[in-house]
Amino acid sequence: MNSISGPSETWLIEAHDSFSAIEDLDKAFGTAASSSNLLASDDVLAPSRTMIGLYRPAWSYRPEEALKLLPKMRYLQVSIYRNRSGDDEAFAALVRARTAGLDTINLDRPDIAYEVISGAPSGTYLLLTPLVSLKTLDDTLSVRAGRLEGGAKNAAHYEIGREHLLFRIEPAISYVSEEFASADPDFWNGKAKPE
């Protein structure tokens, strides 16, 4: 996915069932990288960054609904929370207040939460919100201030910073399973006409 807000970035996201799966991938790429002389130097491209995050269903908002939206998404909102104290309980308190507010208005914007355990400072959390269309953001602007007011107060109390980024999904650089692509094969296989 490519950023449409914030710094110009391309993010690649992978899902793994275990750390041993990450190790297997590292071994495969490590061997390929060490045998290749085609690696880009830092003076041509900025160094890349890799983060490893643990899925945190209790900190997610309606994660089952978010998973159903993934094959249909065209955009992804990434909310990055940074807890300066590194206190997980502070972030959990923010999430509880946020969830209560979202449930009160029955907001239809599910997300999936990850706690970054490697590759970023301690106390970094990512909330991934799949969006079928950016119109979803228009539909929720009228309730935005009220839905996160309590969360914003908690964030200030616990010294939690947040940043929101929007990304466009790029099927040409995506590798998804046939089952995943079956929700919209024209899009995922690159046959969809631009709107």
- When the pLDDT of each residue in the chain is averaged and rounded to a whole number, the result is 82
Q: Could you report the per-residue pLDDT of 115-157, keeping only the tens digit for each?
A: 999 999 988 999 999 999 998 888 776 555 544 444 455 555 6
State residue 93's pLDDT score. 83
Banded pLDDT at 192 (limits 50, 70, 90): low
Q: Could you report the per-residue pLDDT of 49-72, keeping only the tens digit for each?
A: 889 999 999 999 999 999 999 999
Strands of the sheet with 52-55, listed across from one edge: 2-3, 160-168, 75-83, 124-131, 112-118, 52-55
- How many alpha carbons fall within 13 Å on the CB side of residue 182? 4
State residue 143's pLDDT score. 56
Bridge pairing between strands 124-131 and 2-3:
unpaired
More confident residue, 136 or 3: 3
Architecture of domain 2-33+53-188: 2-Layer Sandwich (3.30)
State residue 146's pLDDT score. 46
More confident residue, 58 or 192: 58
Q: Give the start-end residues of each E strand in the chain.
A: 2-3, 52-55, 75-83, 112-118, 124-131, 160-168
Give me the residue spans of the domains in the chain. Answer: 2-33+53-188
